[in-house]
Amino acid sequence: MALKEFLKSKVFFKHLLLIAASFIVLLFLVSFILKIYTRHGQEYEVPKITGLNIKDIESSEDLKNFKIMVIDSVFKEGIVSGTILTQDPSEGSLVKHGRKIYITIASNSGEMIRMPLCKDKGLKSAVQSLIDVGLRVGTIMYRTGEIDNIVVEQRYKGKSINVGSDIITGEAIDLIVEVKSTTNEVVVPDILSKTESDAEILLWKAGLNVGRKIFQGTNEQKNTRVISYTPSSRRVMIGTAINLNLMNENEKAYKKQLEDFQQSQQIEEMIEENDTVIIEANETID
């Protein structure tokens, strides 16, 4: 049979159809196998695990589709060891089966470090020296002297601590600051909507102390933010303790409470400005 005649024959078309059908079946099987292997189209929502203890999630049914990877442990005062501080991906993310969730947990205590030099530094510089090595500011105390805003003593638990002394990260260091006048006023920094740690650093560097803290909602390192504070005045005396009201930004009431406080601040500022104008006018008349 000639090639031309074979190409026109039923046998050729039967073989051609059989090959095409086999190819389609093969493609379908490969696609089906790949879907099973990669869980194509099937995604899982990452649950919220921050605030939980790592011991409590080890056998959790909600996490059977994920792999938990601890990438760091951090000492945080008042937080139980093993508490999950951060997670990545975040809550609500859609990911494939077997995705790793990277977490940071709270540790029993910090690592041993050397006490940095704070003495003879400006307050901001001294605060930064403590923050850089993982220490906290305890209480900032003031006394009058010839040099303004200079740290003259660093204390740990009521006693002076020398540079290079062993100390555990997370501990609080008290700073004695010399100023020309202890009645100086400072502007309260913008701490609204800041995280707890960021707000603390801003206050310390401004020469203010951190007072009481009230938490609303789940206390998470990354999501808990300042929604109000007292005293709420724009200017306060150096060393004043600022009390913080903090709320998890995922709470429904977060934005409203933040906006309410901002509005009350604006009203207070307007009243203060009007009072200042009246006082200046009376002084001019006198």
Per residue in 7-39, pLDDT (tens digit) is 566 666 677 777 877 878 888 787 767 666 555
Mean of pLDDT values over 150-171: 94
Q: Give the residue, 71 or 191, on which the prediction is more confident.
A: 191
Task: Answer whether CATH 3.30.2270.10 is correct for domain 185-274.
Answer: no
Average pLDDT of every residue of the chain:
85
Nearest to 157 by CA among 132, 177, 139, 141: 139
CATH architecture, range 49-106: 2-Layer Sandwich (3.30)
Mean of pLDDT values over 152-161: 96
Per residue in 229-275, pLDDT (tens digit) is 999 988 999 999 999 999 989 888 999 999 999 888 888 777 766 65
Task: Name residue 203's amino acid.
Answer: L
Task: Note if the pTM is more than 0.75.
Answer: no
How would residue 164 be classed by pLDDT, with cut points 50, 70 and 90? very high
Q: Decide if 49-106 and 185-274 have a common fold.
A: yes
Nearest to 234 by CA among 190, 197, 179, 202: 190
Domain boundaries along the sequence of the chain: 49-106, 110-182, 185-274
Burial track 175-190 (b if 16+ CB lie within 10 A, e otherwise): bbbbbeeeeeeeebbe
Percent helix, strand and coil across the chain, each to the nearest 5: 35, 30, 35
Please answer whether residues 130 and 118 qualify as being in contact, where contact means their C-beta atoms are separated by less than 8 angstroms: yes
Q: What is the pLDDT of residue 111?
A: 80
Per residue in 85-142, pLDDT (tens digit) is 888 888 888 888 888 999 988 887 678 899 999 999 999 999 999 999 989 999 999 9
Strand order in the sheet with 241-248: 209-216, 241-248, 224-230
Q: HSE of 271 in the Cβ direction (CA atoms, 13 Å)?
A: 8
Q: What is the pLDDT of residue 23?
A: 79
**Token pair 């029993």 in the structure block, residue:** 108
Tell the CATH topology of 110-182: Trypsin Inhibitor V; Chain A (3.30.10)
